[in-house]
Structure formats: C-alpha cells, structure tokens
Amino acid sequence: MGIYRGLLLVTMTLVTSGCVTLRPYDQAVRAVPAGDLLEVDGRRIHVQAAGEGFPLILLHGFGGSTLMWDAVAPRLAAERRVLAIDLNGFGFTERPASPAAYTIAGQAALVLAVADRLGIARFDVGGHSYGGGIALYLAAHYPQRVRTLVLVDNTLPAYGVLRRQRLFANRTLVRIFVHSVALSDRRVRSGLEAAYADDRRVTPELVRAYADRLRVEGAVNAFYGLVAPNGQAPDSVDLAKIAQPALVVWGSRDTLIPEEEGRRHAAEMPDARFLSLAGCGHNPMEECPAAFLDGVEPFLAATATLP
C-alpha cells in the first residue's frame, strides 16, 4: 500500500500547484517556415537547414531544441551544410505516440530518416549532452554514415535508460506532472540555471523560448516515452571502438556532468581530442558561442577533406 499512498500524496500536491496548457501542434508551428517542416513517414519533423557543402547534423540536449544552436549555426553554415534537428519529444517536431520513438535507437532512427529523406549518405554530427549520446550511438552502430563527431558536454547512450523512473510508469501521474511541474516556468528556469555558469544569462525571454518549444500537443506521450521504464537494457557503446575523429568540448564550469568525465570519454576514444572552455557551463554553444566556434571550426576545417 505504501507506493499507492505515495502516488496519492504526490498527485494531490501536483493538482494544487497550477496547470500548464499545451498548444495544439498546428498552432505551435504556425510561425515556423514551411520549408523547416520536413514530412517523414507521415509526420512533420522540424529541421533548420542553412549553408552548402558537406553536411553537419546538430542534435540538441534533453529538454532543448534547435534553439540551442542558434548562436553558432550561422557561422558554422558559412563553410558547410548545417542541419539542426528537433528530436522526438522536443521543439517543433510532431510528437509520436509510440514509446519506442523516445528510446536512443528511436531517436537515431529519426536522424537517419531525415538524412535519407534529404539524400544525405554521410555526415558529420555534433551532439550536445543527450544529443551527444545519440551521436555516439550513430557512430557506433552506423559507422558508414558518420564521418566525424563533435561531442559537447555529452552523455553516453545509456543516459536515456538511466534517467527512467519507476514512479512514471503511471500514465495518470505523468499527465499531472507534465501539466503541473515538468513544463512550468519555474522548472524550465531552474533547468537552465543549472546548465549555465552565469545565471544572469537566463532571461525571461530565454525561459519563454524554451518553454514554448516544450508545451506542445503530445508532450504527455513524449514525457512518458522518455522517462517511464520500458524494460530495455541501457544502450551502450564501446568508446575504444569509436574510430571516427572526434572533438570533445566541455564547459569548465559544468556542474551537471563534471569535466573529468569528458576527459575520460576522450581518452578512451582512439582519435579524440579534448577542449575545455573556461568559464562556460553545460551549454557552451549558447553561453560562450565565440569560444565554442573558435574551438570547433579548426577541427571541422582540419577534417573537411576526409572521405
């Protein structure tokens, strides 16, 4: 009976804490350029594309969207084709109902489906945090598709399973939690403050921009798919077998994933170099875009002639 009493107590607490409204998907994407919504398997995927040349696919972190790359994408696109993708459950991508879409394998399938739809056989990939785990999964399982890696304060693929919680196996509780807590301004702000070294950069405008891309129809399915237990073993990769050239970028003041972990990841990969960005937090491409670009662009330029 203990778990049911606990659920009841949590539910009563959440019910009294306010409610967030989710926008219908068509309303949420009303201002999105039509060319940025790519239809894949009957579903609209948000892809921001710019530039020409060899493609660089950018994958955002958990709770983020293509918004995370806005400060660096234009300069990156000056020398290459840049495609920032909203993953399943985030941004302006249409939320699927199937929980399988929210596994690491499901997210990787989305990336490959977008690449196939655009006729892209091989690409460089940049991934931040959760998106970095997906980038590693792609490199390990589809090495013929991935040329190089830029891993930014990245997790490993196992993160997608390790963050799942038994409490959220209850769909009713998930619905209440999403509407009352997970997507509240307070929760979004606290998440950004944890990711930034300088909390002053977390403005009301930034909080609103993040929240608007999360409060979209289908968010309950997405949250359930991302955090409810699904019985799957953690997706793992052997870093020693990641053969692609990799740049591992880390904010020196990242309090979410310590820099030492990033250094360890880089040391385990055969062809990886590590770059520490002084004074930056977990989201260096947002918080320190100039330093980020100064570190990443030479790596991309040096590997641009690889097949």
Q: What is the DSSP string of the chain?
A: -HHHHHHHHHHHHHHTT--PPPBPHHHHTTTS-GGGEEEETTEEEEEEEE--SSEEEEE--TT--GGGGTTTHHHHTTSSEEEEEPPTTSTTSPPPS-GGGGSHHHHHHHHHHHHHHTT--SEEEEEETHHHHHHHHHHHH-TTTEEEEEEES---TTHHHHT--GGGG-HHHHHHHIIIIITSHHHHHHHHHHH-S-GGG--HHHHHHHHHTTSBTTHHHHHHHHHS--SPPPP---GGG--S-EEEEEETT-SSS-HHHHHHHHHHSTTEEEEEETT--S-HHHHSHHHHHHHHHHHHHHTTT--
Q: What is the pLDDT of residues 231-258, one digit of tens each?
A: 888 788 999 999 999 999 999 999 999 9
Query: Which carries the bigger pLDDT value, residue 112 or residue 159?
Result: 112
The CA-atom distances, in angstroms, between 100 and each of 8, 97, 232 are 28, 9, 10
What is the model's pLDDT at position 18? 60
- Whole-number Å distance between alpha carbons of 98 and 141: 22
- The vertex-241 CA angle with 238 and 246, nearest 5°, equals 100
List CB contacts of 259: < 8 A, sequence separation 6 or more. 250, 251, 252, 276
Boundaries of domain holding 222: 2-302
Tokens representing residue 222 in the block:
């997405």
Q: Is 307 part of any domain?
A: no
Q: What is the pTM of this model?
A: 0.93
Q: Is 250 part of any domain?
A: yes
Q: What is the pLDDT of residues 99-145, one digit of tens each?
A: 999 999 999 999 999 999 999 999 999 999 999 999 999 999 999 99
Q: Is 236 part of any domain?
A: yes
Percent of the residues in the chain that have a pLDDT greater than 90, as a whole number: 86
> What CATH number corresponds to the domain at position 31?
3.40.50.1820
Q: Is 281 part of any domain?
A: yes
**Mean pLDDT of the 10-32 span:** 77
pLDDT of residue 11 exceeding 70, the answer is: no
Q: What is the pLDDT of residues 43-76, one digit of tens each?
A: 999 999 999 999 999 999 999 999 999 999 999 9
pLDDT of residue 166 exceeding 90, the answer is: no
Lowest mean pLDDT among 3-7, 53-57, 94-98: 3-7
Q: Is 207 part of any domain?
A: yes
What is the model's pLDDT at position 16? 41
Q: Is 26 part of any domain?
A: yes
Q: Is 252 part of any domain?
A: yes
Q: Is 155 part of any domain?
A: yes
What mean pLDDT, rounded, does the chain reach? 93
Tokens representing residue 203 in the block:
């403005």
**Mean pLDDT of the 260-268 span:** 97
Contact indicator for 44, 112 with CB cutoff of 8 Å: no
Domain count of the fold of the chain: 1
